[in-house]
Structure 1
């Protein structure tokens, strides 16, 4: 990739800001990150004729989006209509407002909801991008809820018939990367399909360039305006000029143990689903250094996670058997709750939040060597058993001894739960009464979410509080412009995705809000940098 050099002179205003040295590279728009939000923004500016450079810290495109199922919560879009789903921004607003309320500014919520459909339409103008509706329930019982969901997903992308520099550099699925396996052959699916489609769309404009292994170190400002950035590439510092603006969409700080201890009071960063080598808060720190206000730093997209022998953890959802018990041997929540809501129950109960207070997923022998639920990285029972993370006994009393809980408490918990299963009603936590619960239920009784625990051997597998990423970051306005503490926008600086404080605040309303909102605000940022307004 050719570099350009141009000498700029300016007056230094504060330590670490503009320097008057030459530029190593220039572009109209610099995009930091390569997830769904970043690439939507990059395509948005490139398709409008702006020279766009994407820099990605790691050796793969896609960030955590590449790991995701890539449902997109974008009410009223044309892909929903093709799938026979009648939705609108107003229906989405009724639901979103009922769930999120006043936790975030209504103007920000409205920007998301009013431009969701336009974002899909803009992207599908490219022949490389296509979405389809698939059922996946909204997460709360609230006005405007769709029991079968409103999310759209990227259509699978056939594998290239020959090597393709961009597609071949898409991050492997989580299970492959965590287990050290190559990316699977065949079509790209889910988040990998979204990333590959957006890369192909970007490339087709003729205005997009990409750099892997290029890490943002700081932003460069002149007279309060962000005019570029410094980045490290191959041991060299590059000064990149951005004539129209910089879009920060490089994820959150989920992989930064120091920041998580400081901002979230968690023991570290081992249990996140963030992509390795990424999401260490570089973009948030750089923006703060340029005067950006931050918010929601204590928030994440939480999820119960299976603890692995190497100390990591993997997102777990869709339980179709078993119960969760805390250190007392008792249940503390509806185990079939949507994952962020279950994660928040774990936080409230202080269960599974550190190494010395694990949650145990207890189930019986009817499932054999399989876990009765969905984990994004498969578990090897032998390895988990050797590490003490999967324990087995012929009796509940024996299992209680192995996991260090009171035998009578565990036996009583299971006996009570089995009674609920017999009658089809969870009188303690209402498991199986919500459409989301039943979406994953596979039991044979009147309540498919309540499967009795009665056939030995009995098993307990360790569950901890994980996350899909942090959701606190820089504050932004309805055009995705980054704001100062006084509420004014920093010229030339935009943010989307987990680099920005989330439009959903402390809530996770439905499948695809994280990536969907990232894409909408990146789309709005692109339009603003191009001097255009989008259709609402």
Structure 2
């Protein structure tokens, strides 16, 4: 029996209630519905997918048949070696659960005719033992919108540049939209309900201590829904809440986050804490340099193939080609780095030599002052308020590095990730001189793909209380939890892969109840 999607009336009880509709949430919902459990997804907005829909759809799920088919030197043991090298304090039980579950989850998803997965070349983020050359991440294949249930296709959140402009999605869903569209279609096909426009406001425990009730405000008023098997919280972090960011010392700003506007404000995490759940905010966030937009928002930016970043003193402070989270964390280390200025020249006809989502129109940036231009570096310094002598010296030093092929300050171009997006620099393709006037400077802020502090969970995705005991009936995954990776970001799709793996473990535990 097919399920439903949209602003629909709810039943009073389901087996499984999922809060959120990102990749982790819908993985859990799809597997629960497939197992014959009456499943409800509660989504706050009118569209499903959250930040996952904005993503490239990469999933860090090592050791699966997808990597083996592609001939990669990937394995569970290699991934274990890699995580042990890059994580500060590996939580062995949770890490082992992730590594054990990843290939099993991929096999289960691939067995479904609605899910097709493939390897994508995208370098992992640390030069460490166990790293796979050109990466081990996988992603769903693109799918045409008309291949999906029309009701599902109508509610998949568009790419960020279209969503922010109030435009609909494209005819072909790729990356994160493909992941969300495929998973949502699985949920509905197998009888699940995806209820949009339902803002969860609280949770309740029964007299026996079990978390069994979800309170929400929906299009038909206040509702209470009981979960017979379990509640899965997978509704993002608190990145959209200025107050919660301030309280928890999270760098950046709610205006600069990549979360869909008006979402991910952390109420569900607080609701779980109110019924006894433990929390951990130490992971901070999944950070990135953000191209400041004329409206004050930030744009996820990666793949710098030219130019240089300077702080408010006119000095470089990092390898601009670092993986985005590592660069963002370096940016957050000193107040003079937010905002920064990215200096580039005219060799790409005044376009930003990087991938920014969205980039925006250069003319709009120049009119708003988020970009400035000048015929000389001295003139650029005057337009930005930077010290002319310092900026000129910084650019000249960078150009000498480009000529020699060696970045003596930060080693730009020495790692495979540095050159993954690079163009035609010579002798080091990651080092391109800034010497073709007119010159430009774009203002950059500290953006994020979400926060990564939240509910404390165990290896089965069960939420723990403040003394470390699992709260019966309550599970969590995605950015609603304290990340298994701590402050690290191992590689492309680490947030999605972990969210999906722990969602599947949670559903397995619910099915045993």
**Normalization by structure 1: what TM-score?**
0.92
Of 197, 208, 218, the residue aligned with 1:213 is 197
CA contact (8 A) 1:108 1:477 kept: yes
Cα-to-partner distance string for 1:360-415 (whole Å, 9 max, x where unaligned): 00011212121100011132111111111110011111111111111111111011
Match of 1:253 in 2: 238
**Aligned-pair CA distance for 1:110:** 1.0
Q: 1:121 to 1:453 in 2, by over 3 A?
A: same
The normalised TM-score by structure 2 is: 0.96
Q: Does 1:418 align with 2:399?
A: yes
Secondary structure at 2:512 match in 1: coil
> Please, which of 264, 273, 278 is the counterpart of residue 293 of structure 1?
278
Moved over 4 A (4+): 1-4
Q: 1:280 aligns with which of 249, 259, 265?
A: 265
* In structure 2, distance between residues paired with 1:28 and 1:183: 32
State the distance in 2 between where 1:227 and 1:351 align.
Answer: 48
SS for the counterpart of 1:54 is: strand
* CA root-mean-square deviation: 1.5
- Report how far residue 444 of structure 1 moved: 2.9
1:80 pairs with 2:84 = no
Offset at 1:273? 0.2
* Match of residue 92 from structure 1: 79
The corresponding residue for 2:13 is: 26
Corresponding position of 1:303: 288
Query: Would you say the 8 A contact 1:332–1:349 is kept in 2?
Result: no
Greater Cα shift, 59-68 or 156-165: 156-165
Give the deviation of 1:82 after TM superposition. 2.1
What is the Cα deviation at residue 179 of structure 1?
2.1
Aligned position for 1:371: 352
Distance 1:161 1:242 in 2: 32
What CA distance in whole angstroms lies between the structure 2 residues aligned with 1:86 and 1:227? 44
Partner of 1:125: 111
CA distance in structure 2 between the partners assigned to 1:266 and 1:194 by the alignment = 29
1:161 shift after superposition = 6.1
8 A contact 1:76–1:86 mirrored in 2: no
> How big is the shift at 1:162?
8.6
Equivalent runs, 1:40-59 vs 2, <5 Å: 40-59=27-46
Does residue 329 (structure 1) correspond to residue 310 (structure 2)? The answer is no
User: Any residues of structure 2 matched to 1:101-140 within 5 Å, and which?
Assistant: 101-102=88-89, 104-140=90-126
1:474–1:482 Cα contact (<8 Å) kept: yes
Separation of aligned partners in 1, 2:427 and 2:336: 30
CA displacement 1:445-474 (0-9 Å, x = unmatched): 011010001111111000110000001000
Per-residue deviation, 1:268? 3.6
Which consecutive unaligned segments of at least 5 residues does structure 2 have? none
The alignment of Structure 1 onto Structure 2 pairs a total of residues equal to 506
Contact 1:264/1:298 (CA < 8 Å) preserved in 2? no
Contact 1:80–1:87, Cα closer than 8 Å, also in 2: yes
Q: Tell me, yes or no, if structure 1 residue 155 matches structure 2 residue 136.
A: no
Structure 1: stretches of 5+ with no match in the other structure: 5-23
Structure 2 residue 210 is the aligned partner of structure 1 residue 229: no
